[in-house]
Amino acid sequence: MLPNKKALEIIRKYMKIYNGKNEKDIKERLIKELKEEHVLVETEDGTYTLKAEDEEEMMHSKVGALKEAIYKFAKPSKITDLSNPRVLDLCSGMGYNAIAALHYNKNAEIDMVEICEEVLFLTLFLDIPYKEHEIIKDKVREYFLNKIGIEYKSDYDNINLYVGDARKFIIKSDKKYNVVFHDAFSPKRDPTLYTYDFLKEIYKRMEDNGVLISYSSAIPFRSALVDCGFVISEKESVGRKRGITLAYKNPNFKPNRINEVDERVIALSVIALPYRDETLSLTKDKIIEDREERREKLKEKLIKIGKYLSTKQIKKGNIPEEILKIQKEDLNSSEIIKKMRLKFFKDANIFIL
C-alpha cells in the first residue's frame, strides 16, 4: 500500500518543477495545497504525517510522527549504547525514524529503503525539530538533483538511500545490520512486508546481536518471526493499547515475554498462520487470498486429527493442562511457543509447512 493518491498527485506536480534552487517557493505552495486537501495532517507533537491510500490509516498515529519515531523505534533499539550501529530503515517515508536514530547516535550508518519517491521528496519541505533532519534532507536532495542531471554530492556517506521495493532490496543486500526498523503499513491492509519469506531474508542479514522493531503486534506477524528463529518480545507502545514488537536474533536471549494470551494464540490457533510470498513478488491481494485458503485447509486438517482449538478457548486458557503449564517454565516467549506446538501438534513447524 502507498500513501494517499491525492497527496502523491499534488507532490508529483512539484517534483516536476524542482531544480534545487526553488525549495523555498515550493515549500509554501506544496504544504498549503496538501493541507487544503486534508491529506497532510498535523499530529499531537506538532509534526506532520500523510494519510495512506486507504484513508482509514495514516503513515503515523495521531500521538506524533516524531514521537513515534523516538518511542517506538529509536529508544527501544537502544541505539545510544551501540558502538557501531548499522541500521536498516525499512519504509523510510519522510525519514522520521532515520532522523531519530541519528539523533540518538550520530555514528549510525543507515540504509533507508522506500518505494515511494513522493514521500521522500516531501521531507525537503517539512519542519522536523531535530537538526539531524538536515542530514536526511541533504541525502534526499542529492537523489532528486542527480535524477534531473544536476551534480550534487551529499557530505553524509553514512546514509544510503534506496528507492524501490524492500523485497528487491533485501535479496540483493549483502550487508549485516544490528538494528532493523520495520515500519510498513498495517499487515491487515498490506501484508507484503510481513511474510515469513521476507522476514527470513531480513533474519539472514542481521548480526547475532541484532534487533528488529515494529509497531505491529499482529499475531501472524509475530508467529512468522518465531518461525524465522527470532526471540520475540514486546514493550509498551505510545498511543496504543497493544505493545510494539521487538525480535532478537540471539536465540539464547531472554527479554521480557509477550503477554500470555498472545503466546497461546500464536502457539495453537490457526489465526497464527503466517503470510507467505516465496518468490518475494506477490501482490498484497494474492498474499491475503493465499493465506485464507491455507488457513481453511489447516483448520480442516486439525479438525480431522482432533487437534483443532478455537481461538476463543485458547484465549481463555481452556486447553490441555500439560500444554498450559509450559507457560510457567523459565523460557523466552519463542521457546514457549515452539514447545507448546511441539507437545500439542507433535510438530513445532506446523504453521510454515
Ligand X SMILES: C[S@@+](CC[C@H](N)C(=O)[O-])C[C@H]1O[C@@H](n2cnc3c(N)ncnc32)[C@H](O)[C@@H]1O
Residues that bind ligand X (CB under 6 A): 2-3, 59, 69, 91-97, 113-116, 119, 165-166, 183-185, 192-193
At 251, the amino acid letter reads: P
Adjacency order of strands within the sheet including 109-114: 159-163, 109-114, 86-90, 177-182, 206-214, 244-248, 231-235
Residue 140 vs 272, nearer CB to ligand X: 140
Phi, psi (degrees; rounded to nearest 5) at 37: -85, 0
Least distance in Å: CB of 154 to ligand X? 19
To ligand X, the closest distance from the beta carbon of 1 in angstroms equals 6
Whose CA is closest to 276, among 350, 214, 199? 199
Task: Give min distance, CB of 140 to ligand X, in A.
Answer: 12
Nearer to ligand X, 59 or 350 (CB): 59
Query: Which amino acid, residue 60?
Result: H
Q: Which C-beta is closer to ligand X: that of 37 or that of 260?
A: 37
Residue nearest to ligand X according to CB distances in the complex:
93
Distance of CA 255 to the CA centre of its chain: 20
Which of 199, 337 has the CB closer to ligand X?
A: 199
Q: Where are the beta strands (DSSP E) in 9-77?
A: 40-42, 48-50
Instruction: Give the nearer residue to ligand X in terms of CB position, either 111 or 114.
Output: 114
Distance of CA 256 to the CA centre of its chain: 20
Rounded to a whole number of angstroms, the minimum distance from the CB of residue 292 to ligand X is 21
CB of 94 to ligand X, least distance (A): 4
C-alpha distances in Å from residue 276, one per residue of 5, 44, 91, 266, 272: 27, 36, 19, 16, 12
Sign of CA dihedral 254, 256, 262, 264: positive
The nearest distance, CB 165 to ligand X, in angstroms, is 4
Cβ at position 49, least distance to ligand X in Å = 7
Closest to ligand X by CB, 59 vs 337, is 59
For 215, phi then psi, to 5°, come to: -75, -15
3-state secondary structure 27-42: HHHHHHHHHHCCCEEE
CB of 227 to ligand X, least distance (A): 21
Nearer to ligand X, 62 or 315 (CB): 62
3-class DSSP string for 173-232: CCCCEEEEEECCCCCCCCHHHHCHHHHHHHHHCEEEEEEEEECCCCHHHHHHHHHHCCEE
By C-beta, is 95 or 220 nearer to ligand X?
95
Q: How, if at all, do strands 40-42 and 48-50 pair?
A: antiparallel
